[in-house]
Every structure is written in structure tokens, then in C-alpha cells.
Structure 1
Amino acid sequence: MVFYFKARPEAGDYTIFMGLDKYENEELIKYGFPEDIWFHVDKMSSAHVYVRMHKGQTIDDISEGLLEDCVQLVKANSIQGNKVNSVDVVYTPWSNLKKTASMDVGQVGFHNPKMVRTVKVEKRINEVVNRLNKTKVERKPDLRAEREAVNAAERAERKLQLREKKRKEEMERLEKERQAELRSYKGLMVAENMTSNKDIGSSNKSLQELEEDFM
């Protein structure tokens, strides 16, 4: 089971989500999207909360309002963190999550600790948590199928872009050849390289001799 929430409207059209338990978290870790940003209460047990950014956006594009929604949700879904004030919440891109065979179910590390950011949450803001809970939707998604569908769409897009690139390159090549032929033709047609009928008539050479000179 995955729980989905809608971020505050003024932040934009963003979906925040989290797994029901550590086993669902394992699936979210495995089949995440490059646009996903992961949140967790630092040094405490808590839900794994994600926000899915828009295509092309990064962690730097998280607005202050969207960040508050995410950190309040993750604090509210930490048994220990929800009971105390002033907790740290860490967040990082999904691609920075590291999973090894020796780790417990739902446990993660980081490929690059420098990519992990920390924000201090002084207290629970019930207004924020209650608003988010009103948008809560429970689903049983096929995370693997969703990830594979996105992969297939991205591959198709890359193929389309490659075909378009090759088409443009071929058009450019043909245009260069056409321009080169035009320049060559213009060179042959300049006045100093041409012989008029008047020139032929005033010349002592025969037509055959003039043709041989031209060749």
C-alpha cells in the first residue's frame, strides 16, 4: 500500500507519497523515479516520504512551502519524532539512495553524503498535517510496471530524437552539396570564362578549334 498526498496548491501540482511499511519502502527505493526526492527523520525511525518533482526539476527547485509540507508529513509519521520538538529531517535525490545486500529491509545509505541536506523542524504544525491528510489516497500500485512504462517511454523518445537528429544532419549535408554545386556552376558562368557569338565571329579560329579550347 502506498499513501498519496497533494501538496498545497500554491506550491504547484506536486504529489507527496510514502509506503505503508518497510516492505513497501523497499519497493519505493527500488523503483523510484529520477525526479523523486526522499525525506526521513534523521537518526530516528520514520516513514520514507517522497515528493515527485516535475520532469527536469531537481532538489534545488523545491519551494519553501513544498519543503514544509514534506518535512511536516515525515515528522508526523515518526513515532518518536512526532512526540518531540526540534528534530532534523534529511532529504536527498532518490538516485543518491544506496542499498546493499547487508542492509535490513527498508534500510538505506547514501552514495554521496554531500548530496544529503538537513532541515530542522521545530514543531509539528497541525494545520499543515491535517490539510495533507484530507488529500490522502491509498493505492496498491504496480511500482515495477510504472517504472518500466516510464523507461519504455524514455527509450522511445530517445529513438525519436536520434532519428530527428539524423534527418537534420542528412538535410544539412544535402544542402551543403547543393550550395557547392551552385558555386561551381556560377564559376563556369562568369563573363570572362564565356565566349559569345560575336567573339566567335571576330575570331580567326574555327568553331571546332574554339570548342577544343573550351574543353
Structure 2
Amino acid sequence: MVLYYAPRRAAETSHVVYVGADKHENERLIAHGLPHDVWFHVDALSSAHVYLRLRPGETWDDVAEDELEDCAQLVKANSIAGNKINDVWVIYTPWENLLKRGDMAVGQVSFVDEKLVRRTKVKTRSNEIVNRLNKTKEERFPDLQAEKEEYERGVREEKKRAYHESERRRKEEERLRLEEAEARDYKHMMNEEKMKSNKELAKKYASVEEAEDDFM
């Protein structure tokens, strides 16, 4: 089971917060996250794994301060030890930076690059924020693998479409370039400065018969 929450301005941003119901569900979330997911956890303490799903193409730099506060408060509230103390540090990183090795315990993760981990401090629990988020909570049983496969299929289709569009533009630009080159060559062949009228040509000859003889 996965728990879903609506962060502030969710109607505008389409962002969604989701949380694994237990450590086994967290394993599935780790395996089937998406590139535009941001992972949150209480630093150095046990807590829920909280994800903020952004829109495709967005990065963790697009996370607003109020969304960051919502996720941090939700992580603290879902940490047995962290919920009891003040000045709790919450860490967060892009889903793609999560590292899961075979020798790790269930639900445990590390990071590909420690430099891509940020920290934010939660001084105290905000019941106002936690209660607001809990009012939006929904329990679902999604097929995470199917959702990820559908997303990846869409990415491949978009790349294919972009490639074909790029090729179409390239061929069109090549066609126009060749047409312009041919037009320049034709204009050179028909150089008006080198062209003479019939009247000018006639001045070279004393008679029509002489001109015709020269032509023949």
C-alpha cells in the first residue's frame, strides 16, 4: 500500500507526495521511482521514505519552499524518534541518486553522490501542516512497475518523435539550401552584364544576310 498526499498548491503544480506504508513497500518505491521524484528522510534516524513527485522535466531545484516544508514535516511526523525531538535534520536528494546494494537491509539506501544530498532543519513539529496533509491522505495499491514502464515507454516515444521531427527539419533545410544554390548558379549563367540584345548584335553586321551567314 502507498499513501498519497497533496502538498500546498497541488492543484496548480500537479505535484504529489507519496509514502511507503512499510519498509517492504519502500523497497518497491526505491526500485520503481521516476527521474522527477525527490526522496526525503530524517537524517541519522529511522523514518518513512517520503517522495515528492514533480512534473516530467522538473528537477529538485523546482521544489518550492512550502513544498519542502510540507515534505520535511511529514518525514518528521513519520519518524518514531524524530517526532519526539526538536531541531531534526531532514535530508533529500533526487531519486536517481539513491543507491541500493544487495547487501543492504530492507528499506535501507545509500547515495551515488553524497554531494547531491541536501539538508533542511525542522525546528518543531507543525501540527497545522501535518493535519492539513493528513486530510488529503489516500490509500492506494498501485502497480508501480507498470507505472514506470508506461512512463519509460512515453519517454521513448517522445524521443522517437523528436528524432523524426529533427530529421524532417534537416531534410527541409537541405532541400532549401540546394534550391538556393541552384538559383545562384542559374543567375550566374544568365548574367545580364554579359547578355546582349538583338539590336546590339545587329550592329556587328552590315546586313541581315551577313548576320545569318555568321550564325550558320
Cα drift, residue 197 of structure 1: 1.5
User: Aligned residue for 1:151?
Assistant: 152
User: 2: CA distance between counterparts of 1:119 and 1:34?
Assistant: 21
How far does residue 198 in structure 1 lie from its aligned partner after superposition? 1.8
- Is it true that 1:9 corresponds to 2:13 in the alignment? no
- Find out whether 1:138 has 2:136 as its counterpart: no
How far is 1:202 from its partner?
A: 2.5
* Count of equivalent residues: 211
Identity of aligned residues (%): 49
Corresponding residue for residue 54 of structure 1: 55
| Equivalence map 1:47-196=2 (5 Å) | 47-196=48-197
CA distance in 1 between counterparts of 2:213 and 2:108 reads: 94
Equivalent in the alignment of 1:39? 40
**Which SS does the other structure have where 2:75 is aligned?**
helix
- Tell which deviates more after alignment, 79-88 or 138-147: 79-88
CA distance in 1, matches of 2:73, 2:109: 21
How far did 1:207 drift? Answer: 5.4
Equivalent position SS for 2:19: strand
**Segment drifting more, 198-207 vs 25-34:** 198-207
Shift of 1:208: 7.9
Amino acid at match of 2:124: K
Take 2:74 and 2:135, find their aligned partners in 1: how far apart are those partners? 12
State the TM-score, normalized to the length of structure 1.
0.92
Q: Residue 4 of structure 1 aligns to which amino acid in structure 2?
A: Y
Q: 182-191 vs 194-203, which deviates more?
A: 194-203
Letter in 1 for 2:105: D
Give the CA deviation at 1:146: 0.5
User: 1:185–1:78: structure 2 CA closer, same or farther, 3 Å change rule?
Assistant: same
Q: Is the 8 A contact 1:200 1:207 kept in 2?
A: no
CA distance in 2: counterparts of 1:29 and 1:128, whole angstroms:
26
- The TM-score, its normalising length taken from structure 2, stands at 0.92
Contact 1:92 1:116 in 2 (8 A): yes
Coordinate RMSD, CA, aligned:
1.8
* In 2, Cα distance between equivalents of 1:181 and 1:111: 56
In structure 2, do the counterparts of structure 1 residues 24 and 57 end up closer, same or farther at CA, with 3 Å as the change threshold?
same
Residue ranges of structure 2 left out of the alignment (5+ in a row): none
The Cα of 1:54 is off from its aligned counterpart by 2.0
Deviation at 1:126, TM superposition (A): 0.5
Aligned partners of 2:14 and 2:54 also within 8 Å: no
In structure 1, distance between residues paired with 2:126 and 2:213: 102
Note the C-alpha offset of 1:206: 4.7
Amino acid at match of 1:53: L
For residues 186 and 123 of structure 2, the distance between their equivalents in structure 1, rounded to whole angstroms, comes to 79
